[in-house]
């Protein structure tokens, strides 16, 4: 008998027994926290899984299927031009208006294909942090100087954090550099511009389907919001033509796959999510029945990422809702504690704001009304910027997924870097404003 395993089982049984024995069921705050966890998971599932996560998974799967490892390493690998790779990665968020969870499949896609750790991390941070609409709304609602500081800080953070991660783990990457150099150039199946148009169409579907509501005073953003679904449909149709002309999709099956989405768009115009969902279901069917190995690889890669990421995301959202609740609602941690802890511009208040921001889940743009309420309750300008720099780029769900993608050590270093830089940047900013 293995007594070590038996003792583990015994302590496991004891933990579960005492957990349920002392479970504070019936206590108002505990019951409310359970409700908030379920409500946040429900909201996340309704608002983000179909519109954000599913398109992101298909884009990440496309990276795996249509972009060779050698091509990724040419632009983001160990021997790539650092100015080009870090420059592209650091401003990627201006194109992709995604949250900290939606960017994960995209990060996993390029990281697993051989991208250098530094550029991949720069992309991971900048994706949710440098959202153009979020920067504009921050400046309008929370103050011009805070909006500008957020934009500058986010770009610098992505560059600095990516470079520091590269330096810390340089020995690991150096060991891989020789192996990367020996990977032969793959046979080119299609010109780069065709693959680029494919990814542009997919990214456009993701961006416009998630375009946030804007005020009429923000003319450009408001006009785009009014036509977001026609724009989404246009790029979805463009993707269909691209798959037929350059990727070998069967035209009859492509038409059959499109019919449900078209019918929902015509007869249920007020519920665009039905047509959107039918489109991706049809795309999944097309990829699995086309007989094209490359197309099937695309779906297999997307499905593999979904199995790895989705359970951790939902678990993380549940835990974040239980601890911190939703905007305007409380979890097991009272909101008064948070408001009290982030007043002034001390090291502790900035550190606390950074830590809370790093673990709390913020959907795109929701950090702005949350901060508006906290500032009204006495939150300092420094802690406000610290939360803006740590919050959108990290969350408890994303941390759990990152650990699964790149390991505990790298994830821990990344989280600590974000928290430390957010803390001291907040203190520096708060000393002037």
pLDDT tens by residue, 187-225: 557 787 888 899 889 888 988 888 878 788 878 888 988
The answer to whether residues 415 and 391 touch, using CB atoms and an 8 Å cutoff, is no
State both tokens at 355.
């830590």
What DSSP character marks residue 22?
Answer: T
**How many angstroms separate the Cα of 12 from the Cα of each of 8, 19, 25, 205, 433?**
6, 11, 21, 47, 51
Strands, E assignment, 107-237: none
Mean pLDDT of 266-288: 92
Round to whole Å and give the CA distance between 42 and 59.
24
The answer to whether residues 413 and 328 touch, using CB atoms and an 8 Å cutoff, is no
Round to whole Å and give the CA distance between 311 and 309.
6
Q: Kindly tell me if the per-residue pLDDT of 172 is higher than 80.
A: no
State both tokens at 80.
């790539």
Round to whole Å and give the CA distance between 286 and 254.
6
The answer to whether residues 89 and 126 touch, using CB atoms and an 8 Å cutoff, is yes
Round to whole Å and give the CA distance between 431 and 346.
10
Instruction: For residue 214, report the phi and psi dihedrals to the nearest 5 degrees.
Output: -125, 160
Task: Give the model's pLDDT for residue 425.
Answer: 93
The answer to whether residues 147 and 135 touch, using CB atoms and an 8 Å cutoff, is yes
Mean pLDDT of 69-96: 68
Round to whole Å and give the CA distance between 430 and 382.
4
Q: Kindly tell me if the per-residue pLDDT of 285 is higher than 80.
A: yes
Q: Give alpha helix (H) positions in 377-407.
A: 381-390, 396-406
Per-residue pLDDT reduced to its tens digit, 29-56: 888 889 988 988 888 788 778 888 888 8
Which residues touch 345 (CB under 8 Å, ≥6 apart)? 380, 381, 382, 383, 426, 427, 430, 431
Give the residue with greater pLDDT, 90 vs 353. 353
Closest listed residue to residue 394, CA positions, set 379, 375, 415: 415
Q: How far apart are the first and last CA of the chain?
A: 66
Round to whole Å and give the CA distance between 43 and 136.
25
Q: Kindly tell me if the per-residue pLDDT of 180 is higher than 70.
A: no
Closest listed residue to residue 151, CA positions, set 180, 175, 126: 126
Tell me the pLDDT band of 115, cut-offs 50, 70 and 90. confident
Give the residue with greater pLDDT, 420 vs 111. 420
Per-residue pLDDT reduced to its tens digit, 126-163: 877 776 667 766 787 778 888 889 888 888 898 899 99
Please tell me whether residue 343 adopts helix, strand or coil conformation: strand
The answer to whether residues 433 and 381 touch, using CB atoms and an 8 Å cutoff, is yes
Mean pLDDT of 306-328: 79
**How many angstroms separate the Cα of 84 from the Cα of each of 88, 91, 100, 215?**
6, 11, 24, 36
Other residues' Cβ atoms within 10 Å of the Cβ of residue 140: 14
**How many angstroms separate the Cα of 199 from the Cα of each of 88, 102, 206, 312, 375?**
15, 16, 11, 26, 40
Other residues' Cβ atoms within 10 Å of the Cβ of residue 4: 7
Closest listed residue to residue 71, CA positions, set 166, 180, 162, 197: 180
Q: Give alpha helix (H) positions in 268-380.
A: 272-289, 293-324, 335-341, 347-359, 367-376
State both tokens at 353.
């704001």
Percent of the chain with pLDDT over 70: 86
Round to whole Å and give the CA distance between 293 and 274.
29
State both tokens at 105.
């499949």
Closest listed residue to residue 102, CA positions, set 157, 161, 44: 44
Per-residue pLDDT reduced to its tens digit, 335-393: 777 777 887 888 999 999 999 888 887 766 667 767 766 776 678 889 999 998 998 78
Q: Kindly tell me if the per-residue pLDDT of 178 is higher than 60.
A: no
Round to whole Å and give the CA distance between 392 and 135.
12
Beta-bridge mates of residue 379: 343
What DSSP character marks residue 93?
Answer: G
């Amino acid at each position: 008998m293995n007594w070590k395993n038996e003792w583990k089982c015994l302590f496991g049984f004891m933990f579960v027994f005492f957990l349920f024995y002392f479970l504070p069921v019936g206590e108002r705050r505990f019951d409310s926290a359970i409700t908030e966890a379920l409500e946040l998971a429900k909201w996340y599932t309704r608002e983000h899984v179909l519109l954000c996560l599913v398109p992101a998974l298909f884009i990440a799967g496309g990276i795996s299927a249509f972009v060779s490892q050698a091509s990724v390493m040419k632009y983001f690998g160990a021997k790539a031009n650092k100015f080009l790779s870090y420059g592209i990665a650091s401003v990627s968020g201006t194109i992709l208006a995604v949250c900290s969870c939606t960017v994960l499949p995209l990060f996993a896609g390029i990281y697993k294909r051989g991208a250098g750790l530094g550029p991949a991390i720069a992309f991971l941070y900048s994706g949710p942090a440098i959202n153009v609409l979020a920067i504009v709304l921050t400046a309008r609602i929370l103050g011009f100087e805070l909006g500008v500081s957020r934009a500058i800080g986010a770009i610098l953070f992505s560059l600095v954090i990516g470079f520091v991660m590269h330096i810390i783990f340089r020995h690991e990457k150096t060991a891989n550099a020789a192996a990367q150099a020996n990977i032969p150039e793959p046979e080119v199946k299609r010109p780069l511009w065709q693959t680029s148009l494919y990814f542009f169409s997919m990214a456009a579907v993701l961006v416009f389907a998630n375009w946030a509501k804007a005020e009429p005073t923000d003319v450009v953003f408001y006009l785009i919001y009014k036509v977001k679904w026609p724009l989404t449909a246009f790029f979805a149709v463009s993707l269909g033509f691209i798959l037929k002309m350059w990727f070998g999709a069967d035209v009859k099956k492509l038409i059959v796959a499109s019919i449900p989405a078209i019918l929902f768009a015509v007869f249920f115009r007020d519920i665009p999510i039905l047509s959107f969902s039918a489109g991706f279901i049809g795309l999944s069917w097309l990829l699995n029945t086309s007989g094209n190995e490359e197309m099937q690889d695309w779906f297999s890669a997307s499905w593999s990422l979904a199995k790895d990421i989705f359970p951790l995301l939902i678990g993380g959202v549940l835990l974040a809702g239980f601890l911190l609740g939703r905007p305007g609602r409380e979890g097991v941690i009272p909101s008064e504690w948070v408001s009290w802890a982030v007043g002034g511009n001390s090291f502790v208040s900035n550190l606390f704001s950074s830590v809370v921001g790093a673990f709390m889940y913020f959907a795109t743009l929701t950090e702005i009304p949350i901060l508006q309420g906290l500032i009204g309750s006495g939150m300092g300008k420094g802690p406000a910027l610290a939360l803006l720099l740590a919050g959108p780029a990290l969350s408890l769900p994303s941390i759990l997924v990152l650990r699964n993608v790149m390991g505990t050590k790298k994830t821990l270093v990344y989280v600590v870097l974000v928290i430390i830089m957010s803390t001291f940047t907040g203190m520096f900013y708060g000393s002037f404003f």
